[in-house]
Amino acid sequence: MDLSKRPQPSAPAADPTDLRASDADRDRIADILREALAEGRLDADEHAERVEGVYRAKTVGELEPLVRDLPGAHAPRPAAPAPGRPAPGTIPAGPGENLVAVFSGATRKGRWRVGRRMQAYAIFGSVEIDLSEAIFEHQEVSIRAVSIFGSVDIRVPENISLRGSGGGVLGSFEVDTLEAADPQAPVVHVDGVAVLGSIEARPRRGRIIADLHKYVGRYVDKRLRKHLD
């Protein structure tokens, strides 16, 4: 028997819990924690501690213990998005910008390029996101906000669409819904929860996207190329 031809043992399969956590993984866990807070399964301190753990986690295995004792972790994922949220796949998974204010303030305003995703966390602090002069490079933008004894204030130009889905626990969640006349205009989705705090999103009067035609031109050109391909 030729021992040199003996088949080599295959490498053991990688443990899924050792995989690096993606933004989509963190968002899913954050959603479960937000629902648990709204249902009274977690108090504000527990929720804040676990949310902090979500964004410190490096692997899927570090995320799972944060929701192991919550029913949302064992429920099947919904097939359709909640009202006011973008449809799955509309906003591709990717790195997002985080604005965190803990006993402090954080601001994003002026002329800046808006990414597809943003997360805002105000814990005994305030976060201001002003999109009224921003450059939109994506048609769909998602902003996730959590306010615990703090405030998140979001301003958008008047000629885009603004939609919201969220709530407050002894706090307020207010989104002034907008529907742009131009169907190709950017859409900003805001969702989150306010615990003894506030989340507010509304248009900044008199501010519009001056270069909307450039955005629409890029969007139509992209769709046309995709269709031809």
Q: Which range among 35-39, 81-85, 205-209 shows the weakest confidence by mean pLDDT? A: 81-85
d(CA 198, CA 149): 8
Q: Which positions ≥6 away from 195 have C-beta within 8 Å?
A: 37, 44, 47, 147, 148, 149, 168, 169, 170, 171
Does residue 89 or residue 18 have the better pLDDT? 18
Nearest by Cα to 87 from 142, 33, 26: 142
With tokens 């968002």, the residue in question is 27
Tell me what the pLDDT averaged over the chain comes to.
79
Of residues 173 and 31, more confidently modeled: 173
Average pLDDT over residues 161-188: 89
Do the beta carbons of residue 72 and residue 32 sit within 8 Å? yes
Residue 154 confidence class, pLDDT cut points 50, 70, 90: very high
- In which band, very low, low, confident or very high, does the pLDDT at 224 lie, cut at 50, 70 and 90? very low
Pairing mode, strands 113-114 and 135-136: parallel
pTM of the model: 0.59
Residue holding tokens 């929720």? 47
Cβ burial of 66 (10 Å; 0-12, 13-18, 19+) is buried
Q: pLDDT per residue over 109-139, tens digit each?
A: 998 888 889 999 999 999 999 999 898 888 8
Helix (H) or strand (E) holding 30: helix 23-38
Over residues 69-81, mean pLDDT? 64
* Residue 5 confidence (pLDDT) above 60: no
Please report, rounded to a whole number, the percentage of residues in the chain having pLDDT higher than 90: 30
Helix then strand then coil, in percent of the chain rounded to 5, is 25, 30, 40
How far is 66 from 57, CA to CA, in rounded Å? Answer: 10
Q: Work out whether strand 161-169 and strand 140-148 pair parallel, antiparallel, or are unpaired.
A: unpaired
* Measured distance CA(164)–CA(201) in Å, rounded: 8
- The pLDDT value recorded for residue 220 is 44
Average of per-residue pLDDT across 147-172 = 92
